[in-house]
Amino acid sequence: MFTRFAEKILPTPALYSAGSVLALTLSLTAIPQTTWAADDYPFDATADTVFDIIQDSDPSTFVCLAYEGRTTRQMWDKRQDNEFDLEVFLFTAHFSDMPAMDIILNPEFETPEAAREEAEKYTHRLGRVPLVFRHGIRQLGVHKGDQGFHAGTGKVFVYSEMSDRRISENHLEESLLHEGVHATLDDQYRLSPEWIAAQEQDGRFLTRYAASRPDREDLAETALFAYSLLRHPGRIPPVDSADIARLVPARIAVVETILNTTPQVSPPMPPPEGCE
């Protein structure tokens, strides 16, 4: 990781409008830029950066959490590299901008009270993730352990000890955004002609992780940085911002198009009685 801790973070300017990628690039031309070798990258992975891009003060669309009891659900567990039918604790998380999301917790949490306490780590934080990156998540599965998060279409799986570490680093929302891209946008965009063309035009990757799996991880890795530059540009130090804007302008433009697309979601249903 090559984060520059000494850079002063600039005040957040107004949001960029039409032609914002060009405006962003022009606004950063006076900032010194790093020269990166072809086989080097500004960052190892988004999970390892120290940037607090989605902050506690940002609004959340989370409304309440309802306990639905015990039920059988399939959960993929990275600790055993397998999928199991488990009698999970089932909660529904209600948001003001999308249908309710299931949160299922491994029975290893033992009691509904312990399961709720764990589920509540994610609810307000999920509500801070922009809807465009979140609306496709239908189920959040939670295990104990410190494994890395993973996701597929409609599903995200997280591990409680790793979540605690990400919370201590003010980075859980950023990790949820990354997995939300996998759950929500991958099927439509990661192998799309537009994204492939943007990769070829840029010719570089922002993270070593994206470069190692360009067909799988590049969209999720790039989306977080692009979102910050386009919506909260003051939250990444200016030298890092200049490098990001210079290295992947075509992919930032694709993410901007995604951000400007209104997600097609059903209106949320009223929460059930007793939802807290």
β-bridge mates for residue 105, sequence order: 89, 142
Inter-CA distances, 257 with 13, 79, 173, 215, 228, Å: 20, 37, 22, 20, 14
> Nearest 5°: phi and psi at 152?
-140, -170
Please give the Cα distance from 140 to 120 (Å, whole number): 12
Domain-embedded: residue 15: no
Q: What angle do CA 246, 252, 257 make, to 5 degrees?
A: 155
- What would the two tokens of residue 190 be? 């990661």
Instruction: Looking at the structure, tell me whether residues 220 and 238 fall in a common domain.
Output: yes
pLDDT in tens, 198-209: 999 999 999 999
Domain-embedded: residue 268: no
The torsion region of residue 13 among left (phi > 0), alpha (psi -120 to 50) and beta comes to beta
Instruction: Looking at the structure, tell me whether residues 220 and 123 fall in a common domain.
Output: no
Which pLDDT band holds residue 32 (cuts at 50, 70, 90)? low
Domain-embedded: residue 13: no
Please give the Cα distance from 143 to 19 (Å, whole number): 43
Please give the Cα distance from 208 to 221 (Å, whole number): 10
- Is 140:102 a contact under the CB 8 Å cutoff? yes
Instruction: Looking at the structure, tell me whether residues 124 and 203 fall in a common domain.
Output: no
β-bridge mates for residue 155, sequence order: 139, 152
Please give the Cα distance from 105 to 75 (Å, whole number): 9
Instruction: Looking at the structure, tell me whether residues 157 and 206 fall in a common domain.
Output: no
Domain-embedded: residue 232: yes
Please give the Cα distance from 168 to 72 (Å, whole number): 32
pLDDT in tens, 163-182: 999 999 999 999 999 999 99
pLDDT in tens, 87-123: 999 999 999 999 999 999 999 999 999 999 999 999 9
User: For the chain, what's the residue count?
Assistant: 276
Q: Supply the range of the domain harboring residue 229.
A: 20-55+185-259
Q: Domain count of the chain?
A: 2
Instruction: Looking at the structure, tell me whether residues 84 and 149 fall in a common domain.
Output: yes
Alpha-carbon 85 to chain mean position: 27
pLDDT number for residue 50: 86
Which residue, of 114, 139, 169, is where some domain finishes?
169
- Is 105:115 a contact under the CB 8 Å cutoff? yes
Residue 158: name the closest of 190, 123, 122, 114 by CA: 122
Instruction: Looking at the structure, tell me whether residues 193 and 245 fall in a common domain.
Output: yes
| Non-local CB neighbours of 107 within 8 Å, separated by 6+ positions | 86, 87, 88, 89
Domain-embedded: residue 266: no
Instruction: Looking at the structure, tell me whether residues 134 and 220 fall in a common domain.
Output: no
pLDDT at 154 over 70: yes
Rounded to an integer, the average pLDDT of 254-271 is: 95
Residue 132: name the closest of 57, 211, 231, 238 by CA: 231
Domain-embedded: residue 272: no
Residue 259: name the closest of 218, 226, 211, 215 by CA: 226
Which pLDDT band holds residue 11 (cuts at 50, 70, 90)? very low
Instruction: Looking at the structure, tell me whether residues 40 and 91 fall in a common domain.
Output: no
Instruction: Looking at the structure, tell me whether residues 89 and 150 fall in a common domain.
Output: yes
Instruction: Give the residue carrying structure tokens 């977080």.
Output: 224
| Non-local CB neighbours of 19 within 8 Å, separated by 6+ positions | none
Instruction: Looking at the structure, tell me whether residues 37 and 109 fall in a common domain.
Output: no
Q: What angle do CA 29, 175, 44 make, to 5 degrees?
A: 55
Domain-embedded: residue 11: no
Domain-embedded: residue 85: yes
Please give the Cα distance from 266 to 163 (Å, whole number): 29
pLDDT number for residue 24: 58
> Residue 81 is part of a domain; what is its CATH number?
3.30.2010
Instruction: Looking at the structure, tell me whether residues 80 and 139 fall in a common domain.
Output: yes
Instruction: Looking at the structure, tell me whether residues 209 and 131 fall in a common domain.
Output: no
Rounded to an integer, the average pLDDT of 29-58 is: 78
